[in-house]
Structure 1
């Protein structure tokens, strides 16, 4: 293992990478209690074949590439991320993630809640702010090094005063350098109000199998086609994809409590465990069982 915590690629007698070296490798773990009872999920991964489906998170996504090159689509643009680059996503940023080429990429990423980031931003500025990252992929080797070091320490040693401090200081560095301190609320137009209403309905019915596009459209007074187009324009995704995202977040909460994937699948609106596993891995990068083992109490 290298000093940065990543596995060296094993070479065979002919100088070619071994079959094991070409496999994807991913592991979730938790930071422990950062503030009160709040935890931060963490992922370390090397992906050569895995391609994330379009998805979004309820949390911020703060990470750094450690080797190789990955790409992600967001806001209508395909971005490249290489060593020394930070990935700074806001809650509900719709994105994917793919290797740039067959050599793949490795990265370390954290998922702090919006409330944790807002509290930290308030501590930094001395008043309430709504932090927002304008540039989602940005080159900052110093901040990336700090984040990777904190992430590796958490993986190696677990939660402690020192590792909590290191992670919070890494977040503070990202916020101070790259977050907008204020983001005034723009007046909400009719389309935004309708989409907000549909989002609320989808969240309320996230685990129900009876969600109907016609009912959603009727509730806000538009056609089904107009709803899909309007929702995509405002939210960056379709109503169904948004619903799946809410189900994934509900599944994560249950898995963090240690529930079995088969029970989680039936409780969160998936057809069966195989359906949950397929959709979960496409958006999270690991299977539900691997996620539960990494972050459950």
Structure 2
């Protein structure tokens, strides 16, 4: 038997624009998904494996994980005992503001390497996370800013100049707009392709090339983002499910946990999600 899985996802008033997660996962698997901000964290024990930018990465104890905004990735245990980690999810605005103070030049910072070793940066992130958990607002806000600054100075780059838009660029942009507008009653693939004047297979290829996800998976990501906003407002999960287009609360819970890491109820109460002991197979 293994120890139970446990996860807590919450926000601290001292860290506006930053979500926090402390978790231990064994069998949980994150589906392919994206964050609208950065995902920055430290592995406490075990090994996490994740697919990112066409490569499978392994992050062991003490490693730092650095994932850029809107970049598709997964997440699962890299060994039978699972992994434990502390994650911070700063918004683009938070990181851009720090980068503007510390780094010369313009543009949004990005992290070329997804897994790095930086003991000082890891210690700062852990200290910031621990301080937030204990309600030490001054310490958490100070340490988080210093930690992000250290990582930017040592591991961040600037995105290269963009290339000319591809032939499918405008079709994908319009398709994304339609999916944003029609969370509850999305069109079929054929109708979506017709609306953007593209063939269905052409649209699938262009959409996945641009976003990393096929249209239906992208739609579920949008639904989960909207669900988080509604849960934050206090709306019951059962109603949230219908408001964002899921068939029922179980459907919402399944997709929500695969992307956020905790079920909607645990997210809403900012409490700890815990499973029972699991048998090894």
Shift of 1:128: 4.1
Structure 1 position 235 matched with structure 2 position 216: no
Shift of 1:138: 1.7
- TM-score (normalised: structure 2): 0.91
Q: Is 1:121–1:129's contact at 8 Å kept on the other side of the alignment? A: no
Q: Among 186, 193, 213, which residue is 1:210 paired with?
A: 186
Counterparts of 1:1-297 in structure 2, within 5 Å, are 19=1, 21-34=2-15, 38-125=16-103, 128-158=106-136, 160-206=137-183, 208-294=184-270
| Comparing 122-131 and 174-183, the one that deviates more | 122-131
Shift of 1:79: 0.4
Q: Is 2:99–2:109's contact at 8 Å kept on the other side of the alignment? A: yes
Matching residue of 2:275: none
Shift of 1:194: 2.5
- Root mean square deviation of aligned Cα: 1.7
1:17-38 Cα distance to aligned partner (Å, 9 max, x none): xx5x52211011212143xxx3
1:121-162 Cα distance to aligned partner (Å, 9 max, x none): 11223664311111122222221121111111111225x122
Shift of 1:266: 1.2
Matching residue of 1:15: none
With over 3 angstroms needed to count, the CA separation of the structure-2 counterparts of 1:201 and 1:127, relative to structure 1, is same
Paired with 1:184 and 1:152, the residues of 2 have a C-alpha distance of 38
Paired with 2:226 and 2:66, the residues of 1 have a C-alpha distance of 23
Q: Which has the higher contact order (CA 8 A, sep 6+)?
A: 2
Shift of 1:258: 2.2
Paired with 2:111 and 2:122, the residues of 1 have a C-alpha distance of 15
**Count of aligned pairs between the two proteins:** 271
1:38-70 Cα distance to aligned partner (Å, 9 max, x none): 331100000111111111111111111110101
Any unmatched runs of 5+ in structure 1?
A: 1-18
Where do 4+ consecutive residues of structure 1 move more than 4 Å?
none
Indicate the SS of the match to 2:168.
Answer: helix
1:182-229 Cα distance to aligned partner (Å, 9 max, x none): 5423322222332222222222223x2232212221233221122112
Matching residue of 1:13: none
- TM-score (normalised: structure 1): 0.86
Paired with 2:78 and 2:104, the residues of 1 have a C-alpha distance of 41
Indicate the SS of the match to 1:32.
Answer: coil
1:2-31 Cα distance to aligned partner (Å, 9 max, x none): xxxxxxxxxxxxxxxxx5x52211011212
